[in-house]
Structure 1
Amino acid sequence: MRTTIDTQITVTVTDRASMEHQLDEALTVAMTRAVHEGRRGILVTRQGFGSFTVALSDAVPFGLTLEDQKL
């Protein structure tokens, strides 16, 4: 099980174009936090159709972004 700490960014979309745009924005925010902190990576989790969370995670090494699915 992967754990996340701090605020998660939730992305909810209805089409692919908005998915890519909103996930890019969420990843930019998460990368800024990760670089500032310097100890955790980013976990992007698909919660369901059109629903994602982006968060810093202790389970992801700094400098990496991993994807997970809860489907």
Structure 2
Amino acid sequence: MQATAYTYDPETRCGQVLLDDGTPVPFDAAAFDAGGLRLLRPGQRVRIEMEPERGAAADVRVTLVTLQTF
């Protein structure tokens, strides 16, 4: 799935992406590290992978954030 980087904190390696419908979805350091990135700037197009959050049927968590390549 594609999204746009919205926020990123290089100290914690956490942030948020915006889905194409404008929904913000947070990601943690594990998702950032899984993508092999060193830096992320707001506005960059990214590819993300998500899975359902445990215990919450409607919530999802991002498991991977990497740059979108064309």
TM-score relative to the length of structure 2: 0.27
Which protein, 1 or 2, shows the higher relative CO under an 8 Å CA cutoff with sep ≥ 6? 1
Query: In proportion to residue count, which structure has more helix?
Result: 1
Question: Which structure features the higher share of strand residues?
Answer: 2
TM-score, with length taken from structure 1: 0.27
